[in-house]
Amino acid sequence: MTAPIQLWYWPTPNGWKVSIALEEMGLPYEVKPVNIGVGEQFEPAFQAISPNGRMPAIVDPDGPDGEPISIFESGAILQYLGNKSGSFYPTEVRARVEVDQWLFWQVGGLGPMAGQTHHFRQYAPAMIRDQRQIAYGVRRYTNETHRLYGVLDRRLRDREYLAGDYSIADMAAWPWILPALQGQSLAEFPNVAAWIDRVGARPAVKIGRALLEDRRGNAGGSGKEAEAARAVLFGQRAPKP
């Protein structure tokens, strides 16, 4: 029996992309938690798999030619899993390009911009006493995230999913639409709202989204634990022993 794929994971939007994909594709996997709030992403065993020190990452014991392979970066992981499973990632060139366009749009645009929006709206107020220092960042990234929601809404005006059939592009983008954290109103984006419900109703999405949810902390809150998590997450350093 083939060993399961190792999923090095923590419950964040980037982690959810891969847990959702593994559930959708029916690939056996085991979870290797990487608690980014306490600095486990800095451990040598993890950085040997993910040189960038970010999760998610996977190790597939049954990689190409039957040899193990490790992969970091969520977009690369989704492409690999789509190829491995033969599902949610078309083989016909035009259809695959359509999926890749929207996958890279998420990786290069929606994820980074929404992530900065989260930072300035949720975390920075607890880190910076003078709120005037964060006002520009809040406006800049909230407005750019609003623009990206608009791109998504226009794309979904005449289709149910981003690239034709449901695909890894939807799995990549869906976890990053978090309007409550991003200062957005879905009333402005009815096509996005319908897509959120449509994707979110899938059983595999529900399971993948809920993975380790009870272990997710609140780095945007108050108290010593939240403050220590912010120091690790945004100070780019391992916690002191």
Domain residue ranges of the chain, discontinuous segments joined by + = 5-88+213-235, 93-207
pLDDT score of 69: 98
Q: Which long-range contacts (CB under 8 A, 24 or more apart) does 43-51 make?
A: 46/8, 49/8, 50/8
Tell me, what's the pLDDT at 16?
98
- What pLDDT is recorded for position 162? 98
Tens digit of each residue's pLDDT (9 = 90 or more) over 127-151: 777 777 788 889 999 999 999 999 9
**Confidence at residue 241, expressed as pLDDT on a 0 to 100 scale:** 58
Could you say which residues of the chain have pLDDT below 50? none
Peptide bond into 68 cis (omega under 30): no
In the sheet where 69-72 sits, what is the strand order? 29-33, 5-9, 57-60, 69-72
Would you give the DSSP letter of residue 122?
I
- Report the topology of domain 5-88+213-235: Glutaredoxin (3.40.30)
Residue 165: the pLDDT is 97
Residue showing tokens 């006002």: 135
Determine the pLDDT at residue 141: 94
pLDDT over 90 for what percent of the chain?
78
pLDDT score of 124: 80
The Cα–Cα gap between 22 and 155 comes to: 26
The pLDDT of residue 55:
96
Residue 122's pLDDT is 81
Query: What does the pLDDT read at residue 236?
Result: 58
* Confidence (pLDDT) at 131: 74
Q: Does domain 93-207 have CATH number 3.40.50.720?
A: no
pTM value is 0.90
Q: Which H or E run contains 92?
A: none
Token code pair at residue 94: 């035009």
Phi, psi of 36 (to 5 degrees): -70, -15
**Does the CA dihedral 159-163-166-171 come out positive or negative?**
negative
